[in-house]
Structure formats: structure tokens, C-alpha cells
Amino acid sequence: MDSVVDSLNNTYLDFVAAAATVLEARENSTAIKSTATDTALESFKQKWELFRVACDQAEEFVESVKQRIGSECLVDEATGHVAGKPGQATLTGLPPISAVRLEQMSKAVRWLVIELQHGSGAGSSNSAISHPSAPFDARFSEDAAQ
């Protein structure tokens, strides 16, 4: 994370310095465009593009962290490992399930989404039958009924 922040900070500082160079070059030039102004503008464009790339990378990093945190919270809640604040109850009211079971259910949902996207919603109620590789485990009573 530090490298993403450092990269963003460095490209921002370079971008601001390039903007200052453009302003100084324009101030020092006459009404006719000078090569110094052109050079400063070209450098400014390059620094702008580098800054945009750094911003995009930082945004991707933030999104990946949000997804990871969300996944960890989902697994923690599903498995009953919810860390509460001091003095708060950590029970969710739901019986805990294993992480393996959570992954099985997630895969089953993905199969249903794929079926619906491909327009084959007619057989979606029998997804375990239509997709023998669908991840159901007979050890769980709710799966054995399907």
C-alpha cells in the first residue's frame, strides 16, 4: 500500500512541477510561442498522463482491498468468527457454516447466474441434476434434499 501511495504522491508532485514550469515558460516568453513553452507543455502532458495512470492504479488497489475486506467479512460472518467491539455480543443469530460450505454455496449461485445469463432459466431449479459438477455435499441435509 505504501508503494501505491508513494507512486501517487510522486507523480502528483511531478505533475504540479510541470504545471509550474509551463506557467514560468509562458511568463518568460513573448507573445510568440517559444520552444521553451512547447517543451514545457509536452512535459506537462506526459506528467498528466503518468499521474492519471497512477490514479487508476491507486483506484484498482482500493477496489481490490474493498473486495478482499468484503470477502473476509462474509466468511467471518458465515463461519461465526465475527469480531465484535468490546462489550458487544458477537452472535449473528445465524448458525455458523464452514468456509468450505460457503464456497460450495457460492459456486452453486455462480452456476445459477451463468444459467440465467445464457437464457436457460427453465432448468435452473434442477441445477444439481443438470450440472453434475455443481458443488453440493451430501453431508449437509439441505443439499441431500436437492
pLDDT 10s digits, 30-70: 766 678 888 899 999 999 999 999 999 999 998 888 888 87
* pTM for this entry: 0.48
C-alpha cell at 43: 512535459
- Which residues have CB under 8 Å from 133's CB, separation 6+? none
Can you give the residue ranges of every domain in the chain? Answer: 1-72
What sections of the chain are H helices per DSSP? 2-28, 35-79, 99-117, 127-130, 141-144
